Chain A
């Protein structure tokens, strides 16, 4: 009994501390500017003014659409490229695949930031500044995604391929009709992970966009702080809440998959 009480006490206290910044951001987004100056923790009445204002001042809907498109394209690209590679590593026993697999493993040692200057120049030379291509293409090949899917594909019995082959199933058809449907859970984990990390990207969109046409929400938020933070914190917090909603919802829905997927990667990878 005592033991239960102690654990509940620790759980509630930790949750309050950890969740405080998010709760406070939500609370401040409903406040009037005077209440923020008075240092209040809760608004006296719920006001949506800050939300109306933030949508007026910055093209937030446009930024949200850009972020959504970019994240969706990267997610799809990563799923296709990673699953094709993982399929080759598991189901096609060609010579030298251990070597290539090792090469892919080694790429994990290259920090992406060490390649950003030449990558920026590549995008510049291709004329891909302010384009979806420039924002998405460099992230399609994700070694981590290849390992994650490879771990899962290894659990599919090889006999399945042998019997499918006898029924005249081609390699590509086996990939499409058997391997992908059997791997829904790890594909979901990778998809959610890819969408979240792309949505949250900061440095790359900062480099390859310089006007509003292809600006993502994260850079839009930086713009909002630069222009408004001196005066209207309630508006800035409303902006924060708006850009947090999509990823928090996605995280809460997909948590089960992410936990299974990432844990498998960490423990067996």
Chain B
């Protein structure tokens, strides 16, 4: 009996290690690629942040925390952080509120709403470069539509992209427009998942449209709203293309938000070490933001 048992145990172990081998075989491509293009480089970013590294990747002197210390003291970096935070504030709430409004009106049972849903989703198919180029034209000081409209109602032209009080707002406006498509699609999906029965019983109680919207729809949509907030905040921190095309970080550094700042430091000035320290700060900020959102979100969100 005892012998038999150990045979089955051995077979089980053999089977288990076989399974492990097979499983790893299927995971191998993903593990290899993530290793080379994600885990290795994030460790290297951390490593570079403690050294002087030149534009070709030549690692020079060890400098310890010096890059981080000078970042914290640098007025440019402080301005970049302020611009980044302002940018998140300008873009995330606006894009969610507008997309939610569009999702609510497009989820009404009306003839032809498929057409409107397609229109509202369309900016998902607009690339950063194309979207930014169109807005660059709209923002043009003399030919642009925006200033033409202002002129018609007798307001002075605004230097949308070259006035440091307006540039960040203008880039944010472009970004909000481009983000509506994806947010709309996700929120509409969330709305359609809410059970009809809840509305029917609210109808019996004689609840009005807005009572239903604020008492049923929005609370039940909160997990989805939470999801679009997280991806919105992370996406804003990662903004690059529209800055490169519209303002190049200017005027006077007012739109030099963090990824653009990393790009310039590394690829225009060739300070890979200093740029890597900024990259690590970006990583830490996103980590903290995500953890905070999960902590707060878990308490606030209602699940159906």
Contact = CB atoms under 8 A, between A and B. Distances in A.
Contacts, number: 271
A118 B20 CA distance: 32
Contacts of A251: 121-122, 124-125
Nearest to A239: B133
Contacts of A65: none
Interface bin, chain B: 35 or more
Contact of B129 (A14, A39, A93, A222): A222
Contact of A111 (B33, B122, B238): B238
A7 B111 CA distance: 11
Interface in A80-119: 80-82, 84-85, 87-88, 92-97, 100, 104, 107, 109-119
Instruction: Count chain A CB atoms within 10 A of each CB in B118, B137, B143, B148 and give the residue with the most.
Output: B137
Contact of B125 (A4, A37, A82, A244): A244
Contacts of A41: 145
Contact of B26 (A21, A88, A124, A199): A88
A61 B66 CA distance: 48
Interface in A191-243: 196, 199-200, 202-203, 206-207, 217-219, 221-222, 225, 229, 233, 236-237, 239-240, 243
A166 interface: no
Interface stretch (B76-84, B163-171, B199-207, B280-288): B280-288
Interface of B: 16, 19-20, 22-24, 26-27, 29-31, 33-34, 36-42, 44-45, 48, 56-57, 101-102, 105-106, 108, 110, 113, 116-131, 133-138, 140, 143, 145, 148, 177, 180, 182, 185-186, 188-190, 192-193, 209, 223-224, 227-228, 234, 237-238, 240-241, 244-245, 259, 262-263, 266-267, 272, 275-276, 279-280, 282-283, 286-287, 290
Interface of A: 3-4, 7-8, 10-11, 14-15, 18-19, 21-22, 24-25, 28, 36-37, 39, 41, 80-82, 84-85, 87-88, 92-97, 100, 104, 107, 109-122, 124-125, 137-138, 140-141, 143, 146, 171, 196, 199-200, 202-203, 206-207, 217-219, 221-222, 225, 229, 233, 236-237, 239-240, 243-244, 247-248, 250-252, 255, 258-260, 262-263, 266-267
4 closest A-B pairs by beta carbon, nearest first, are: A263-B189, A251-B125, A118-B41, A94-B23
6 contacts: A15-B119, A141-B30, A141-B38, A218-B128, A225-B245, A233-B143
